């Protein structure tokens, strides 16, 4: 085991970089606080005037006191659906909270946002919540208060495999897996959405506010001519005492949440995976120093060892193949006491026998080979994997191709795809092209995936992409008989770069659920530790197998 890290606070760029990152974090916190208002102050007041709690107030009362809620997908739908007035956090909150000391996935409709209606991304967010519950065997709590599908976009949410109906299919699958599901109907629950609480193990309903039916009173009158109000059609008393659809009648939100806690307290406990954990020890260097380490422009260099030194316990690692394949760091370490295997892109200038070489997050054949072996070792030892992504892709050119870069890259991708231990991915800087895949991007089933607020996620870097896109655009215009001046080309290039940069930002990715959350870099240890704690709830780890690999 070796100690890593040094004092970087005296570096000439430290204060400049620190100030830059603090400004990013201030902006992010302002955006997050706006999102957390949901439909706004007036909508919150209307909720309170009805005697109802807001979604966040419900969560606060449900989870154990003096514990924090690990909210995920906070920025879902960010910048989307603006023509409909937007949908902050997609009108649904979800995350992981402790109830009587046990982690639960909690999904809550935010009725201040379009009456809790489901947008297309809302369905995707609910599916992600269920996926996390299934992967980590965490019980689910649904707090339902929703007007149902947002009808202007019904074709984008209704019929496909990853649309609305998949949620109810997952209800059935989760139940068959033996994972508890409780649902509380705390407002409207309409049409197909009625199946979510009723396909849960038990359903509670709040008198006077909760209602559940396949068609509301207006639609019933239009369809069959029957005149009836919603309370007599599917209110708490009707659905509990007459139809038997719901199981518990609650007087108000507070009583309902207390009843959920009481039911949860009597539930079963699951065996743990038993991932290795010892007493936690802080890094030797302040995690806040990461602000002064990371560059303003993600194409610039920094030493990834210094990042790791501010994440791992005692700033110590057992580095695997330290002198080989230096563009990827592979090492065993502990984070908050948890034993982990770290796979990290090195962004520094390294020294070789032939002199200095700037590697800038590129994956070479030897690095891919090393990472493949290390991933296999971690699976053999049942050690969770942490991927610290700052990758511009695999090396290109004749030397790389003749050396078998595709073959070696494929081996690494194969190992990542078939890995059975929990994988947690942090996108630190760049996440470009096939490098995103090899370093366990969203398509490779990380248990959790987070991004730093200055990360970039795209098929290639902005400068390269904008140059390619500009050439294509100019050729199209020239075919149409139009000529471009240098000023026209510059204007067009600036437009392309700005558009490309916006679409490669972490908020753009978070809005579409490509990452689970945009996180504060100084809290990296906490997010990793909490993720492994959740993953430890699933004791069912499959046997690690690989298919055909070219050697």
Separation of alpha carbons 260 and 282, rounded Å: 36
Separation of alpha carbons 347 and 355, rounded Å: 17
Q: Return the pLDDT at 91.
A: 96
Looking at residue 103, what DSSP letter applies? E
- According to DSSP, the residues that pair with 181 across neighbouring strands are 140
Pair of tokens at residue 405: 């870069």
Question: To which H or E segment does residue 543 belong?
Answer: none
Q: Return the pLDDT at 351.
A: 62
Q: Return the pLDDT at 443.
A: 96
Pair of tokens at residue 286: 């302040």
Positions of the chain with pLDDT under 50: none
Alpha helices in 317-364 (DSSP H): none
Give buried/exposed letters for 76-97 (b at 16+ CB in 10 A, else e): bbbebbeeeebbbbbbbbbbbb
Helix axes of 120-136 and 164-176: crossing angle, nearest 10 degrees: 10
HSE-CB for 222 with a 13 A CA cutoff:
5
Q: Return the pLDDT at 474.
A: 75
List CB contacts of 524: < 8 A, sequence separation 6 or more. Answer: 287, 290, 311, 426
Q: Residue 65, exposed/middle/buried by CB under 10 A (0-12, 13-18, 19+)?
A: exposed
Q: Residue 467, exposed/middle/buried by CB under 10 A (0-12, 13-18, 19+)?
A: middle
Contact (CB, 8 A) for 303 and 347: yes
Q: Return the pLDDT at 71.
A: 98
What phi and psi, each to the nearest 5 degrees, are found at residue 379? Answer: -65, -40
Q: Return the pLDDT at 381.
A: 96
Contact (CB, 8 A) for 211 and 258: no
Helix axes of 462-479 and 486-503: crossing angle, nearest 10 degrees: 130
Q: Return the pLDDT at 249.
A: 97
Separation of alpha carbons 91 and 157, rounded Å: 14
Separation of alpha carbons 199 and 182, rounded Å: 9
Pair of tokens at residue 535: 């993953």
Looking at residue 513, what DSSP letter applies? T
HSE-CB for 451 with a 13 A CA cutoff:
29
pTM to 2 decimals? 0.93
Q: Is 102 helix (H, G, I), strand (E, B) or coil?
A: strand
Separation of alpha carbons 92 and 113, rounded Å: 9
Q: Return the pLDDT at 353.
A: 62
Pair of tokens at residue 467: 């140059």
Q: Return the pLDDT at 238.
A: 93
């Amino acid at each position: 085991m070796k100690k890593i890290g040094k004092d970087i606070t005296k570096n000439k760029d430290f204060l400049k970089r620190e100030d830059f990152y603090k400004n990013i974090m201030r902006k992010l916190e302002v955006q997050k606080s706006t999102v957390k208002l949901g439909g706004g102050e007036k909508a919150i007041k209307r909720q309170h005037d009805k005697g109802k709690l807001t979604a966040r107030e419900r969560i606060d009362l449900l989870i154990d006191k003096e514990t924090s809620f690990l909210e995920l997908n906070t920025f879902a739908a960010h910048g989307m659906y603006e023509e409909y007035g937007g949908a902050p956090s997609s009108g649904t909150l979800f995350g992981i909270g402790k109830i009587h000391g046990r982690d639960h996935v909690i999904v809550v409709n935010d009725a201040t946002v379009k009456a809790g209606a489901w947008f297309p991304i809302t369905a995707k967010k609910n599916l992600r919540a269920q996926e996390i519950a299934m992967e980590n065997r965490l019980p689910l709590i649904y707090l339902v208060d929703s007007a149902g599908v947002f009808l202007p976009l019904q074709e984008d949410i209704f019929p496909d495999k990853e649309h609305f109906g998949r949620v109810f299919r997952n209800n059935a699958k989760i139940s068959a897996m033996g994972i508890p599901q409780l649902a509380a109907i705390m407002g409207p629950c309409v049409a197909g959405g009625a199946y979510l609480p009723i396909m849960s193990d038990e359903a509670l309903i709040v008198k006077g506010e909760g209602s559940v039916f396949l068609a509301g009173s207006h639609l019933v009158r239009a369809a069959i001519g029957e005149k009836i109000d919603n309370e007599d059609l599917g209110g708490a008393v009707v659905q509990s005492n007459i139809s038997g659809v719901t199981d518990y009648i609650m007087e108000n939100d507070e009583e309902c949440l207390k009843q959920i806690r009481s039911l949860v307290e009597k539930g079963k406990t699951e065996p743990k995976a038993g991932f290795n954990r010892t007493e936690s020890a802080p890094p030797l260097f302040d995690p806040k120093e990461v602000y002064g380490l990371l560059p303003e422009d993600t194409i610039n260099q920094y030493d990834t060892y210094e990042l790791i030194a501010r994440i791992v316990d005692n700033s110590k690692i057992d580095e695997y193949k330290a002198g080989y394949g230096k563009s990827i760091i592979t090492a065993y370490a502990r984070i908050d006491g948890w034993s982990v295997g770290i796979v990290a892109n090195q962004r520094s200038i390294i020294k070789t026998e032939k002199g200095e070489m700037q590697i800038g997050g590129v994956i070479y054949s030897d690095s891919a080979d090393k990472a493949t072996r290390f991933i296999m070792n971690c699976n053999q030892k049942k050690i969770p994997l942490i991927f610290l992504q700052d990758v511009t892709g695999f090396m290109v050119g004749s030397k790389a191709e003749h050396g078998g870069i595709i073959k070696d890259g494929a081996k690494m991708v194969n190992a990542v795809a078939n890995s059975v231990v929990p994988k947690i991915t942090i996108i630190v800087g760049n996440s470009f092209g096939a490098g995103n895949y090899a370093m366990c991007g969203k398509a490779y089933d990380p248990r959790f995936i987070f991004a730093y607020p200055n990360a970039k996620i795209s098929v290639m870097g902005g400068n390269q992409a904008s140059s390619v896109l500009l050439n294509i655009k100019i050729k199209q215009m020239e075919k149409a008989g139009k000529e471009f001046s240098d000023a026209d080309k510059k204007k067009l290039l600036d437009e392309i770069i700005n558009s490309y940069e916006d679409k490669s930002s972490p908020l753009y990715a978070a809005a579409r659920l490509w990452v689970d959350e945009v996180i504060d870099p100084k809290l990296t240890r906490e997010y990793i530790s909490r993720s492994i704690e959740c993953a430890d709830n699933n004791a069912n780890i499959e046997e690690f197998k690989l298919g055909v690999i070219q050697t």
